[in-house]
Amino acid sequence: MLGFIKKDIAMIKSNFKLIGILIVVYTIMGLMGEVDISFILPFMSVMIMISTFSYDNYNNWDAYSISLPNGRKNSVKAKYIATILMILVVSIITIILSFIISYLNTKSINYGQILISMFGEIFGTLLVLTFMYPIIYKFGVEKARIGIFLIVFGIVFIGGFLLQFIDLSLIANSLSFLEDYLIIILSLIMVMMVYISYKISEKIFSKKEF
Amino acid sequence: MENVLEIKNLCKKYDNFELKNITFTLPKGMIMGFIGENGAGKTTTIKAILNIINSYQGEIKIFGLDNREDDKKIKEDIGVVLDDMFFPEILTPNDINKAMLDIYKNWDSKMFYDYLKEFSLLPNKQIKTFSKGMKKKLEIATALSHHPKLLILDEPTSGLDPIARSEVIEIFQNILEKEECSILLSSHITTDLEHMADYITFINNGEIVLSKTTDELLNNYGLVKCSEKEFKKIDKKDYLKYKKTKYEYEVLVENKKDFKTKYNISIIDKITLDDLMVLMIKGEK
C-alpha cells in the first residue's frame, strides 16, 4: 500500500508551488488582520485532494491501479491515508503561522483559542472530504462536483427552513452536560466519519468497472 | 505445453455489446496477437483478464491460478500497458519508480532507469511534458521492470505516428530477445503482428472467430482471385467468405492446397492478417 500512498503524496507535492503562494498570501492577509489564517486548512485541503482525483480520473489511473497487485483495495486506502497526512501537515503549518501572526499582531499568543479553532477546522475539513469521497468514487470528480453542490445547497436550504421552527438554545441547554467532553466526542465522531466513509468508498470501488 | 493464460467461456453483457463464450489459451513463452476491429471486444476481454471488469461469467486462469481468487499473486507477475495513457501526468518517472518499489515485490529500479536511458526519457520531467510516444515508452518501461512472466499489451501502438510506432515495435522485438515472458498483444494494426506473433486470436463482434498459430494461418489460408464464372463453380463449403471487387472475386479459403487440388484456379495468394480481417468482417458467405 505504501507505493500507492507515495504516488498520492507525489501528486500533492507537485502542488507545492501553489500551496506556498497561498500560504504567503494568507499570511500577509492574516498580518493585516484581514483574514483568519486557519481558513487555509479547509480551503487548501479540499482543493488539493480534489485535484488528485481529477488527475486520476483524467489520466485513467483508476483502471490501471486495478491491474497492480492489490490495487482495488490499496488505492482507496492510500487516498484516505494521504488525505489524513496532508491535513496533519497543513494543520501544523497553519498552527505555527497562527502563533506567529497572533504574536506579531497582539504581542501575545492565545494558544487555547488557536488550537480549538484549528480543531474545528480539522473537523469541518474531514466532514466535507469524508462526505465527498464516496460520491467521487461513485460518480467521478466532474459529476460529483455538481452532486456535492446540489446536496450542500439542499442541506443549507432545508436546514435554514427547519431552523425557523426549532429553538436552538433549548437543544444547546439540554446538551450542556456534554460540554466538558466535547473534544473527545468530536474526535470520536471524526474517527467514525473517516472509517464509515472509507468503508463506503472501498465497497463502491470494489464493484467499480472501467 | 503449459499455458500461462486460459480463458473458458468468458461472457459479459452490456446494453449494446456482448462478449460471447470467449475461449482461448496462450502457451508459456509464446506471443499471441489478439486482433479485431475497434469495438470487437479486445479491450473488454483484457479488462476481464485483469479484473478491471469483474461481473462476468466464465473462467480465467493465469499461471494455472484463478484470476479472481489469486488476484494479488497473479498481478505480481503481470506487466500491463493499457490502450489509454494511465499515469497522472503531474508525476515524474522518478515518482513512478518510488511508488512501484513498494507496489511490486520484484521491482527492479536499475532496470527501470536503464530503460529510461535507452528510451531517452528524463527521470525528473513531469509526464505532461512527454510526447505520446514517450508516454507509451514510459508505460512499457514500467510494465517490464518487475520481470513479469506475462505481458498484457492493449493497443500499445495505437494513436502513435509511424516513427513512434516503429520505435515501439523495435522495443518489443528487443524485449523478445532479452526477456523470457509470454505476451498477449492486442492490436488492430495487424502488420505489427505478422512477424512477431506465434499465435493469432481473432475476435469479431464479441466472438472468437479463430485462434491458431501464425504459421498455420499464413501458410494454409489463401486468397483466391477469380472471375465470376469461376466463382460460381466453387462449392459454398469450400470457402469461408468472399468479396466482389470491381474486376474479380476475392475468396478466402481455409486450406489453399486442398482448394488448388479440387479447383483449377491458378491465382491463390498468401493472405495477410489485414486480408483475413477485412474478408471475415466485411465478406459475404
Interchain proximity B82–A64, CB inside 8 Å: yes
Q: In this structure, what are the phi and psi dihedrals at residue B26, rounded to the nearest 5 degrees?
A: -120, 110
Nearest C-alpha in A relative to B72: A69
Shared-domain flag, residues B132 and B256: no
Shared-domain flag, residues B237 and B177: no
pLDDT at A122 over 90: no
Shared-domain flag, residues B105 and B167: yes
Nearest to A62 by CA among A136, A149, A143: A136
Shared-domain flag, residues B199 and B78: yes
| Cα angle: B246, vertex B204, B3; to 5 degrees | 130
Question: Of the candidates B216, B240, B260, which is a domain's last residue?
Answer: B216
Asked if B240 and B266 count as a contact pair (C-beta separation under 8 A), the reply is no
Shared-domain flag, residues B150 and B228: no
Question: Of the candidates B201, B216, B231, which is a domain's last residue?
Answer: B216
Shared-domain flag, residues B169 and B264: no
- Per-residue model confidence (pLDDT) at position A8: 93
Interval B201-233: pLDDT, tens:
999 999 999 999 999 998 999 999 988 888 888
pLDDT at A11 over 80: yes
| Cα angle: B123, vertex B127, B132; to 5 degrees | 115
Shared-domain flag, residues B28 and B134: yes
B107 in helix, strand or coil? coil
Q: Determine the distance in angstroms separating the CA of A99 from the nearest CA of chain B, rounded to an integer.
A: 34
**Grid coordinates belonging to B197:** 506473433
d(CA B86, CA A57): 9
- Residues of chain B with pLDDT below 50 are none
Of B52, B76, B101, the CB nearest to A3: B101
For residue A181, what is the DSSP state? G
Neighbouring C-beta atoms of residue B47, cutoff 10 Å: 21
- At residue A34 the predicted structure's pLDDT band, cuts being 50, 70 and 90, is low
- Per-residue model confidence (pLDDT) at position B90: 93
Asked if B92 and B35 count as a contact pair (C-beta separation under 8 A), the reply is no
Shared-domain flag, residues B207 and B266: no
d(CA A77, CA A56): 15
Strands B182-187 and B150-154: parallel
Question: Of the candidates B193, B216, B239, which is a domain's last residue?
Answer: B216
- Per-residue model confidence (pLDDT) at position A210: 87
Shared-domain flag, residues B225 and B207: no
Shared-domain flag, residues B152 and B198: yes
CATH number at B186 reads 3.40.50.300
d(CA B70, CA B134): 33
- Residue B246's domain comprises 221-282
pLDDT at A129 over 70: yes
- A58 CB neighbours in chain B (<8 A) are 88
Domain count, chain B: 2
User: What average pLDDT is seen over chain A?
Assistant: 85
Nearest C-alpha in B relative to A15: B90
d(CA B279, CA B259): 18
- Per-residue model confidence (pLDDT) at position B174: 79
Shared-domain flag, residues B12 and B144: yes
For residue B91, what is the DSSP state? -
d(CA A196, CA A208): 18
Residue-level length of chain B: 285
Interval A73-121: pLDDT, tens:
999 999 999 999 988 888 888 888 888 888 887 777 777 888 888 888 8
Q: Determine the distance in angstroms separating the CA of A10 from the nearest CA of chain B, rounded to an integer.
A: 6
Interchain proximity B99–A6, CB inside 8 Å: yes
Shared-domain flag, residues B116 and B234: no
Mean pLDDT of A132-140: 92
The residues facing B207 across adjacent strands are: B204
d(CA A98, CA A102): 6
Strands B150-154 and B18-27: unpaired
